[in-house]
Amino acid sequence: MAQKAAKQQAARNTAILKRTHLISLAISALFILLRLLVFRASCTRATYLLYGLLSTPAFIIEFWLERIGRPVTTSNGELKRSGEDLEAKGLTEYMWDVLYWTWACTTTAAIFGDKAWWGYIAVPLYSVWLAWTTFGGMRRGMAGMAGGNGDGDAVNGSMSNRQKKQDKRGGQKMQYR
């Protein structure tokens, strides 16, 4: 069972990408069919312009996920590269969030009309919130690296009460056998 983890990763990525493409195709077809057949009176050129403009990020993300996640095999069927983990945290997770939100906005715009596209404003707001919390976490994490005024207050300030009592009694005693 050589490369068992890589083969599992390749199978998982293939299934995720297939599901993603099918959902994207279904939502796009739903939008176009509903706008053309059911809500024809409210369908204008602006409707398709908004659809194209606001669906472009999802199509770009879907292409990027396809590019990094699709397994590559050799001509004889052996796995050459399993692809990146499409369930990874960080940027990949953010891309999935944008993709899901775009699908939700497209579906609601297909059913309720062009005003539903205003829901897409949540993507930049989410990006700002995510950047702010990431930066704030880094800033808090780096605060301990700043030097104190040299009298040890910075060290004692971060010690628990138990550690302070132990330090007051002379520190932790090491016993050797």
Q: Which residues have CB under 8 Å from 20's CB, separation 6+? A: 62, 65, 99
Distance CA 37, CA 118 (A): 23
Distance CA 171, CA 129 (A): 44
Q: How many residues make up the chain in this entry? A: 177
Residues with pLDDT less than 50, the chain: 148-154
Quick one: pLDDT at residue 150? 46
Quick one: pLDDT at residue 143? 63
Spatial CA neighbour of 86 closest among 68, 99, 101, 73: 68
Express the helix, strand and coil content of the chain in percent, nearest 5 each. 70, 5, 25
Quick one: pLDDT at residue 130? 80
Quick one: pLDDT at residue 156? 53
Structure tokens at 137: 């976490």
Tell if the pTM clears 0.75, that is, is over it.
Answer: no
Is 31 within 8 Å of 109 (Cβ atoms)? Answer: yes
Quick one: pLDDT at residue 60? 94
